[in-house]
Structure 1
Amino acid sequence: MERENMVKSVSRALDIISIVSMKKGGLGVTEIANQMDINKSSVHRILSTLTEYGYIEQDIETGRYKLGYKFLEISSKLLDSIDLRTEARPFLQVLETVTNEVIHLVVYDQGEVVYIEKLEGNETLRMHSRVGKRAPMHCTSVGKAILAHLPTNVVLEIINRKGLPAHTNHTFTDKEEFFQELAKIKENGYALDLEENEYGIICIAVPIYDHLGRVVAAVSISGPSIRMIPNRLDELKDRLIEIGRKISERLGYVNR
């Protein structure tokens, strides 16, 4: 019975935290009690304990209760402990199983992308990519997916420093056309590499965001042009966009 009461108290404490978090200006004891349908003395007792531990704080002027800074301390530790590869891997494995194609996970670093994960799939495909290798941004789907969501001044700085060198006859080498391509990518939510980096290879990618809403990475599906035809790309894009959203959420991203 005592254990049952303790569990009930914990449950009520969590409910109070959830209710208080929904109101920016905080809530009074009566308001909380009305939402929970329990007496004010019970609410006050739980609030006092939560306040003592820093999870709830009371505004001296209004008497209202709001979330305490303890949550910032905990959330910062959680964010520090998040590992992109670990969080993304289950989703990448799903993509590999469903598509049987090569799956890449890259991060943005100093005007380039760096491959941090590569799943080979079951189909034979020879690509230059490997974990740890750097690649240009302007001619890869992962690079373009990231560039499309970076500030214009940052993109310009990268282009001015790196240029738009042709890797194939399909590479975007004109600055104006390239910016039109980035605008289309941002609108569509995904990027394509139509043999722009390697002949015979087509890739589709989506961006990944962190808890601050910054684009920090991208995930892609790569395959030979004979398999990655328009109809298939159209089928893959929705699944990939969904995977990108789920990985971003694991990093703390909230799409408002």
Structure 2
Amino acid sequence: MERENMVKSVSRALDIITLVSMKKGGLGVTEIANQIDINKSSVYRILSTLVQYGYVEQDSETGRYKLGYKFLEISSKLLESIDLRAEARPFLQVLENETNEVIHLVVYDQGEVVYIEKLEGNEILRMHSKVGKRAPMHCTSVGKAILAHLPTSVVLDILERKGMPVHTDKTITDKETFQKELIKVKQKGFALDLEENEYGIACIAAPIFDHSGKVIAAVSISGPTMRMTEDRLNQLQSTIVHTGQKISARLGWDRGSGPMSH
């Protein structure tokens, strides 16, 4: 019974959101109650909850309810991720064709990276990554590529909140050593993960910037250490850096003004 009620209140809340969204000036409690045949106290309770979460807001002058800014926030996140995937896809495919290795596209979100695209390459490689999965920043090449372009205070906050857990015996777990590593990453324009996240796997990554020059994502090439030798990683440096720059340019980033110009 409780489950049924819960679903009913969710569907009622969604009905109310739909109604409110259709009227530019917003709607009052009575109007909503009349249109969806729920008593006024229930409508008011649902509206109060939606207001609390930012999905609906009340006009202080008219008392009417209208859509809240939370929807803008959600839709802009969705648009960003969809645009990024669509714009990056052709460049990721070129990388996959050229290298035959696993190609990742990740976005930065709340102190972690989230895989939003993975191209498998032609070689067989067992990796933990999959689209939608989150990964730590301190031991991944994509994470380092992003952290290198964030303010030091933000980096330290992430390390404080998330810690620097050991994934392999090559994971960097000392903050000072890690910060020195990030300085090098920023200077070079790319980051490496030499078995720091998973044994037997090495990765190279470059940051991706949006139109405002803010780092929002990263692209990487991953392969087994037997193929990803020092020589091969050296050869892949300019490839990955240029791929990051091309994707950034598609997002409106101007190389002359962005932090990637070096």
Q: Which residue of 2 aligns with 1:126?
A: 126
Letter of the structure 1 residue corresponding to residue 220 of structure 2? S
- For 1:97 and 1:179, the matched residues in 2 are separated by 34
Cα offset, 1:81, TM superposition: 10
Q: Which residue of 2 aligns with 1:138?
A: 138
Matches within 5 A, 1:40-119: 83-119=83-119
Question: How many correspondences in the alignment?
Answer: 179
- For 1:244 and 1:175, the matched residues in 2 are separated by 26
- For 1:238 and 1:81, the matched residues in 2 are separated by 25
Q: Which runs of 4+ in 1 moved over 2 A?
A: 79-82
Q: SS of the counterpart of 1:202?
A: strand
- For 1:95 and 1:223, the matched residues in 2 are separated by 13
- For 2:173 and 2:83, the matched residues in 1 are separated by 35
Q: Which residue of 2 aligns with 1:233?
A: 233
Gap change, CA 1:88 and 1:178, over 3 Å in 2: same
Q: Which residue of 1 aligns with 2:60?
A: none
Q: Which residue of 1 aligns with 2:159?
A: 159
Q: Which residue of 2 aligns with 1:25?
A: none
Letter of the structure 2 residue corresponding to residue 122 of structure 1? N
Cα offset, 1:255, TM superposition: 1.5
Q: Which residue of 1 aligns with 2:14?
A: none
Q: Which residue of 2 aligns with 1:67?
A: none
Gap change, CA 1:80 and 1:155, over 3 Å in 2: closer
- For 2:140 and 2:244, the matched residues in 1 are separated by 17
- For 2:159 and 2:166, the matched residues in 1 are separated by 13
Gap change, CA 1:220 and 1:80, over 3 Å in 2: closer
- For 1:99 and 1:250, the matched residues in 2 are separated by 22
- For 2:177 and 2:165, the matched residues in 1 are separated by 14
Q: Residues 92-147 of structure 1, C-alpha deviation per residue, up to 9 Å, x if partnerless?
A: 00000000000000000000000000000000100000000000000000000000
Cα offset, 1:80, TM superposition: 7.0
Letter of the structure 1 residue corresponding to residue 234 of structure 2? D
- For 1:109 and 1:164, the matched residues in 2 are separated by 17
8 Å Cα contact 1:82/1:251 also seen in 2: no
8 Å Cα contact 1:208/1:215 also seen in 2: yes
Q: Which runs of 5+ in 1 are unaligned?
A: 1-75
Identity of aligned pairs, percent? 73
Q: Which residue of 1 aligns with 2:242?
A: 242
Question: Are positions 1:196 and 2:196 aligned together?
Answer: yes
- For 1:81 and 1:144, the matched residues in 2 are separated by 20
Cα offset, 1:251, TM superposition: 0.3
Question: Are positions 1:169 and 2:169 aligned together?
Answer: yes
Q: Residues 25-57 of structure 1, C-alpha deviation per residue, up to 9 Å, x if partnerless?
A: xxxxxxxxxxxxxxxxxxxxxxxxxxxxxxxxx
Q: Residues 195-244 of structure 1, C-alpha deviation per residue, up to 9 Å, x if partnerless?
A: 00000000000000000000000000000000000110011110111111
8 Å Cα contact 1:101/1:123 also seen in 2: yes
Q: Residues 150-197 of structure 1, C-alpha deviation per residue, up to 9 Å, x if partnerless?
A: 001100100010111110000000010000000010011000000000
Q: Which runs of 5+ in 2 are unaligned?
A: 1-75, 257-262
TM-score, normalised to structure 1, is 0.68
Cα offset, 1:247, TM superposition: 0.2
- For 2:158 and 2:137, the matched residues in 1 are separated by 9
8 Å Cα contact 1:207/1:215 also seen in 2: yes
Letter of the structure 1 residue corresponding to residue 147 of structure 2? L
- For 2:154 and 2:132, the matched residues in 1 are separated by 23
Q: Residues 40-89 of structure 1, C-alpha deviation per residue, up to 9 Å, x if partnerless?
A: xxxxxxxxxxxxxxxxxxxxxxxxxxxxxxxxxxxx9xx97970000000
